[in-house]
Structure 1
Amino acid sequence: MGNVTVNSSSMNCTIDHTIHQTLAPVVYITVLVVGFPANCLSLYFGYLQIKARNELGVYLCNLTVADLLYICSLPFWLQYVLQHDNWLYGDLSCQVCGILLYENIYISVGFLCCISIDRYLAVAHPFRFHQFRTLKAAVSISVVIWAKELLASAYFLLHKEVVEDGNQHRVCFEHYPLQPWQRGINYYRFLVGFLFPLCLLLAAYRGILRAVHRSHGTQKSRKDQIQRLVLSTMVIFLACFLPYHVLLLVRSLWESSCQFAKGIFNAYHFSLLLTSFNCVADPVLYCFVSETTHRDLARLRAACWAFLTCSRTGGPREAYPLGAPEASTGKNEEPELLRKLHSTFQTPTSPGGAGSPTARLA
């Protein structure tokens, strides 16, 4: 079941693709059902932050757009695996869906890195590097990240990504063993797309934690909460992306035979499925855990409830029920998990009011 024979210049390689028909559909459906509405809400809250002139909203919106583009390709991949790895569409659609699948990883890594560095600068250097924490700078950096990944993606358009197996199935974006041209791009993806941003991410979070420890006016419970949030972010980041890139490097270094490709196939594709959960983790970590977003979400829920109640009764009702949280519409709002951290750096002489320098941290 699910055997695929891929022709190369040197040999025929038959690999059991059963994992594609069993585990992959469960993962894709889960990410579709959970990730699509979550990222739509995340996009809305990111838009609110841009309106509030908060540069974090730019990074959050770009991160969410990348996730949504990948999620939109999942129905095609779902049909592909349910058809026993038979691509029913054209060659160009295979290349586009493959690019959305793989490049989403590096776009996500890039914007997660931007968010982390922005928080580090706000916490550890609140009075310096202000020029890097503006809407204009965030937009410019976002354009560079997208351009870099689109140029890297164009490399795949130069190669044929649809081949026929022994059962006349059209296999999409799969070559076993690796083709020679794939090794170079894989080294680039590992070193530039993953390892370098990961080092920046680790350095930024290390600086954030050190800044928290140096804050003598912060309660221990608040420090513990900040550290848990920071560490949980790193754990999820590493869980989603580290296994895939380790196995990608292993394949690029040592996969030269069909036997090796068979031995690593299931582990490699399991790690590739793990990267899909980043689309669910992004809005959870960087949007739904902040108090600001909780209030906005409560307001949205109250408005929907008021609309439904009005529709049932046919009469006007209050826009917000008694006790519903009011919307927070300040420039200092942040749609991500480290908003609380800024208040820990307010000194007794600078209470963080509208006129204090600390208030600009957000």
Structure 2
Amino acid sequence: MQDFLQNATENNSTDCTINHSIHQTLSPTIYIFVFVVGLPANCLSLYYGYLQIRAKNELGIYLCNLTIADLFYIFSLPFWLQYVLQHDNWTYDADLCKICGILLYENIYISVGFLCCISIDRYLAVVHPFRFYQFRTIKAAVVVSIIIWGKEILMSWFFFKKVEISKDAESHTICFEHYPIKNWEHNINYYRFFAGFLFPFFLLLFSYCGILRVVCKSHGTQKKTKIQIKRLVSSTVVIFLVCFGPYHILLVIRSLFEKNCMFAGKIFNIYHFSLLLTSFNCVADPVLYCFSSESTYQNFVKMRDSSLTCLRCLKTKTKVSYQLKTPETLRKSSSVPVDEEPELLNKLHTVNEMKDFSTH
């Protein structure tokens, strides 16, 4: 009897007529925005994480992993863009649909995992600067990163084997979704809500509340710095709630009440709007954790100056190579000051030894 009901539910999913208007209006705009802005921003963020790793800062490991997860999702956006523009009709291979779906959904939890790692790392650095040092090393960060990726790869393999391609009433191939949701998805959605969102949120909140308590009691911290720290902490919590909160709440609502096509049709637009909100995390991460730091701004200014200096050097060398090597020109070329060497090359090895909050 149970098998019959399950088969009936699966068959009904092919008869659901869903209004996909949100996918022809809002989704393409957001996908294009996230791709155009997120791709260069995350590439620069990856470079910043590399600088942190060279400075023996474990934060760089978490930033690089967070950025790589965002880039994986960004690279799948062109496929999703074509999918929504074709009225939710997947025209590529079924396995590619599963891969893109995994990159979309699992990026959420990989990002959440590394956001928690960053918050805990900052908490330990500010609240317990001389304790738990063994957890704030490059080696520890690598081990934690392997655990996070390993856990999500196992979950991805489960979805890859479980998810099947379905068709709607218009014979369109639906990618990575079912209307209404299947029975096995209910427990997965509860797990996503409690373990993938609620627990990490409380962990994030605990870490940043501890940081704020220490900062507010610190008499040596300047008022301007305190304000910057408070803004960064509040922005992180708000963006976490805005990007991931609505989606996970609607996951639970769907698991509790979505039993037929009527409810699936009513909740479709708001559910997919919440899913679009998770995409903004790929843009918010570089802004919050990289570009908000004053030292990051200085590093990119140095990189720009060094690039301009290198271009001037190349032009000078090209011009000199076509000139006659007279004693006068040799004397002029030999008098080029050593100070014109790119400043970034001299200072990449001396990133701030003092790990202030902005880089933690």
Whether TM exceeds 0.5 here: the answer is yes
- Indicate conservation of the 8 Å contact 1:67/1:279, yes or no: yes
Q: How does 1:28-107 map to 2 (within 5 A)?
A: 28-107=31-110
User: In the alignment, does 2:182 pair up with 1:163?
Assistant: no
**Which residue of structure 1 aligns with residue 349 of structure 2?**
329
SS at match of 1:287: helix
SS at match of 2:178: coil
- Indicate conservation of the 8 Å contact 1:187/1:249, yes or no: yes
**Which residue of structure 1 aligns with residue 292 of structure 2?**
289
| Counterpart AA for 2:294 | E
**Which residue of structure 2 aligns with residue 338 of structure 1?**
357
Deviation sequence 1:97-147 (CA, Å, 0-9, x none): 000000000000000000000000010001100010000100000000011
Residue ranges of structure 2 left out of the alignment (5+ in a row)? 1-7, 321-335
Deviation sequence 1:129-169 (CA, Å, 0-9, x none): 00100001000000000111111112211224322233332
Deviation sequence 1:192-237 (CA, Å, 0-9, x none): 1111111100000000000111112223222122111111111111
User: In the alignment, does 2:215 pair up with 1:212?
Assistant: yes
**Which residue of structure 1 aligns with residue 181 of structure 2?**
178
SS at match of 2:18: strand
Q: Aligned pair in 2 of structure 1 residues 322, 192: CA closer, same or farther (>3 Å)?
A: same
Percent identity over paired residues? 61
State how far apart, in whole Å, the 1-side matches of 2:41 and 2:194 are: 31
Residue 174 of structure 1 deviates from its aligned partner by 1.6
Residue 331 of structure 1 deviates from its aligned partner by 5.5
State how far apart, in whole Å, the 1-side matches of 2:347 and 2:214 are: 31
State how far apart, in whole Å, the 1-side matches of 2:110 and 2:236 are: 17
| Counterpart AA for 1:107 | I
More helix by share: 2
Residue 60 of structure 1 deviates from its aligned partner by 0.4
Q: Identify the range of structure 1 (24-33 vs 217-226) with the bigger mean alpha-carbon deviation.
A: 217-226
Aligned residues: 335
- Indicate conservation of the 8 Å contact 1:49/1:334, yes or no: no
Question: What value does the CA root-mean-square deviation take over the aligned residues?
Answer: 2.5
| Counterpart AA for 2:11 | S
Q: Aligned pair in 2 of structure 1 residues 15, 328: CA closer, same or farther (>3 Å)?
A: same
Q: How does 1:1-362 map to 2 (within 5 A)?
A: 8-10=10-12, 12-309=15-312, 314-315=318-319, 327=347, 329-330=349-350, 332=352, 338-339=357-358
**Which residue of structure 2 aligns with residue 3 of structure 1?**
none
State how far apart, in whole Å, the 2-side matches of 1:252 and 1:276 are: 22
TM-score computed with the length of structure 2 as normaliser: 0.86
| Counterpart AA for 1:240 | C
Q: Identify the range of structure 1 (303-312 vs 130-139) with the bigger mean alpha-carbon deviation.
A: 303-312
- Indicate conservation of the 8 Å contact 1:24/1:273, yes or no: yes
Query: Which structure has the larger Rg?
Result: 2
State how far apart, in whole Å, the 2-side matches of 1:142 and 1:75 are: 28
**Which residue of structure 1 aligns with residue 326 of structure 2?**
none
